[in-house]
Structure 1
Amino acid sequence: MDEILTLLGGMFGTRAIEITAAICGLINVALIIRRSLWNYPFGLVMVALYAVIFFDYKLYSDAILQIFFFVIQVFGLFWWLAGRRETGELIVLRASPRQTAVVCAITLSAILAIGAAMSRYTDASLPYWDACIATLSVIAQSMLARRLLENWLVWIVVDIIAINVFLAKGLHPTAVLYAVFLGLALLGLIQWRKAWLGQQA
């Protein structure tokens, strides 16, 4: 029993604010899979809480990243409201080949630039892999806000990389949490693809 509590504590934290943020995060993803607009209240609360948590732990880059996530979720709410059928069902879009090429070029450039900066100017551990996770997370969140099916593919890559990074750093409970996120991302890809195929009928 003590081992289970330790594992859960490592995944969700032991403070009320950490537990609340993690629960909001899981609810947020579950509602996104269902293409429910109600994901946004939970998502906004989650990123606001994590901004406070990261700032408290002096993880300033992560705290700033949460500000971006908060802003993009506000835009995402309006884009989702505008992208619904008369029945209220969210319309799933696909990224064009041109969009995909531009996103890949921006992503690669950002990873190399951030990784190089972190490697040169900080004592960051695994700077390029860390830059990869951060950059891809921004890309995935932006694609999600635009209702693009491919956002789930990017989240899957993020989760796979994150799991391996956290295992390498000995953060096993966090790796387990990201394994849960990986499962949810796979489910999201399946559900959103099914919805997109239904739109083509």
Structure 2
Amino acid sequence: MNELLSKLLADWQLLHSIELVATLLAVAYVVLALKHSIWCWPAALLSTLLFTHVMWGSALLSDALLHIYYAGMAVYGWWRWRQLQQQSGQAQPVYEWVWQRHLLLISLTAMAGLVLGYLMANYTHADFAYLDAQTTAFSLVATWLVAKKLLSNWLYWVVIDAVSIFVYAQKHLYFLTALFMLYTVIAVVGYFVWRSQYQMQTTLPGKAL
């Protein structure tokens, strides 16, 4: 019995140590993204690989799959930001879509989240299957919008982060709960910082990439 308790304690400590390192890297990613630093993407890659392990161990399977996707997007984001800088001739280009395009994207993403939630609820042991699936679906889209440097990506993240706070608090993932509280604040700040940059650009409003 003592050996079992010792092993459980060691596993818990390891899981939360990994969570802490991943959290610090995730904070670095968001701050660097806010500053338009392309080095946000290497930080994101390391963070997502560590978080994949944490999510799987916490039975948040949609989130585990999401972080595998994040790792791929970190590579794409690095390439895409370099490409956008070269195309625009600016160090910090920011773009935006018309609201109708966002409405279509939100509708399609919500439907995809319902499908994923159904699969997770009926065929896996996932907790918060539908809610977790919705945050997963919208996080996939929002990460893609970051890679495309769309201003409104920050508004997507405000909602996603607020919902994630509830999920992670219920799972007793304390570092993640604190992280997403910070994320919510940074997302609000990020929106206004990027909007200011967007307004100073000569790029036509509503330009789609």
Judge same fold: TM > 0.5, yes or no.
Answer: yes
Instruction: Give the structure 2 partner of residue 119 of structure 1.
Output: 121
Instruction: Work out the CA distance in 2 between the residues paired with 1:172 and 1:44.
Output: 21
Partners of 2:151 and 2:191 within 8 A in 1 = yes
Partners of 2:22 and 2:50 within 8 A in 1 = yes
Written as runs of structure 1 = structure 2, the 5 A alignment for 1:1-201 is: 14-15=16-17, 17-55=18-56, 60-84=61-85, 85-87=88-90, 89-167=91-169, 169=170, 171=172, 173=174, 174-200=176-202
Instruction: Give the structure 1 partner of residue 3 of structure 2.
Output: none
Aligned-residue CA RMSD (Å): 2.6
What is the CA-CA distance between 1:121 and the residue it aligns to?
Answer: 2.7
TM-score, normalised to structure 2, is 0.78
Q: 1:101 to 1:176 in 2, by over 3 A?
A: same
Instruction: Work out the CA distance in 1 between the residues paired with 2:76 and 2:158.
Output: 23
Instruction: Work out the CA distance in 1 between the residues paired with 2:173 and 2:24.
Output: 19
AA of the residue aligned to 1:99: R
What is the CA-CA distance between 1:59 and the residue it aligns to?
Answer: 5.1
Instruction: Work out the CA distance in 1 between the residues paired with 2:53 and 2:125.
Output: 23
Partners of 1:80 and 1:90 within 8 A in 2 = no
> Any gaps of 5 or more consecutive residues in structure 1?
1-9
AA of the residue aligned to 1:151: N
Larger radius of gyration: 2
AA of the residue aligned to 2:50: L
Instruction: Work out the CA distance in 2 between the residues paired with 1:77 and 1:62.
Output: 22
Q: 1:126 to 1:21 in 2, by over 3 A?
A: closer
Q: 1:170 to 1:119 in 2, by over 3 A?
A: closer
AA of the residue aligned to 1:181: Y
TM-score, normalised to structure 1, is 0.81
What is the CA-CA distance between 1:118 and the residue it aligns to?
Answer: 2.3
| Equivalent residue pairs, number | 188
Q: What percentage of aligned pairs have identical amino acids?
A: 27
Instruction: Work out the CA distance in 2 between the residues paired with 1:183 and 1:193.
Output: 16
CA displacement, residues 133-186 of structure 1 (integer Å, 9 cap, x when unaligned)? 11111111011011111110110000111123344x263734333111101111
Instruction: Work out the CA distance in 2 between the residues paired with 1:36 and 1:146.
Output: 14
Deviates more, 1:108-117 or 1:121-130: 121-130
Instruction: Give the structure 2 partner of residue 4 of structure 1.
Output: none
Q: SS of 2:155's equivalent?
A: helix
Q: SS of 1:91's equivalent?
A: coil
Deviates more, 1:89-98 or 1:190-199: 89-98
Partners of 2:62 and 2:136 within 8 A in 1 = no
